[in-house]
């Protein structure tokens, strides 16, 4: 039996509700929120079995005594797609800021980059033949 299981990435954000709305717009489903009423300090969402957490930077600092960084290109959420160009356009419709238009990479992928409303990188990737 493995000591570890069910990996998850948590992104720090000044506004978990806004961030959750963005990722719900991409098809993620909300599976956890605390507190149940009022502004959330943590929201978990799932897409195709992958769990993404959104944690309030204030709560992370105040409740856990940590020093979260909630700005800059610290990590990337990668979303695979069958249509990079359409996905890139949809991300922008949902409020993402374009970073790099779709381009071929390694001769076998078509990828594009945006930043979500908190500045986290989101990459869309498509296998091409």
What is residue 37's DSSP assignment? S
| φ, ψ dihedrals at 78, nearest 5° | -105, 125
Mean residue pLDDT across the chain:
92
pLDDT at 126: 95
**Can you name the CATH fold of 71-129?**
2,3-Dihydroxybiphenyl 1,2-Dioxygenase; domain 1 (3.10.180)
At 4, the pLDDT band (50, 70, 90 cuts) reads low
At 76, the pLDDT band (50, 70, 90 cuts) reads confident
- Domain ranges in the chain? 1-70, 71-129
Task: Decide which of 7 and 107 is more confident.
Answer: 107
Considering the segment(s) 1-70 as one domain, its CATH architecture is 2-Layer Sandwich (3.30)
At 95, the pLDDT band (50, 70, 90 cuts) reads very high
Q: What pTM did the predictor assign?
A: 0.84
């Amino acid at each position: 039996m493995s000591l570890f299981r069910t990996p998850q990435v948590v992104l720090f954000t000044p506004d978990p509700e806004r961030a959750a709305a963005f990722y719900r717009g991409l098809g993620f489903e909300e599976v956890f929120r605390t507190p149940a009423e009022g502004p959330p300090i943590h929201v978990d969402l799932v897409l195709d079995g992958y769990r993404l957490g959104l944690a309030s930077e204030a709560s992370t600092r105040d409740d856990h005594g940590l020093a979260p960084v909630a700005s800059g290109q610290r990590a990337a959420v990668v979303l695979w797609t069958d249509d990079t160009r359409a996905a890139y356009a949809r991300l922008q419709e949902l409020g993402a800021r374009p970073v790099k238009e779709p381009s071929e990479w390694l001769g076998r992928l078509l990828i594009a980059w945006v930043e979500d409303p908190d500045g986290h990188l989101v990459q869309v990737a498509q296998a091409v033949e």
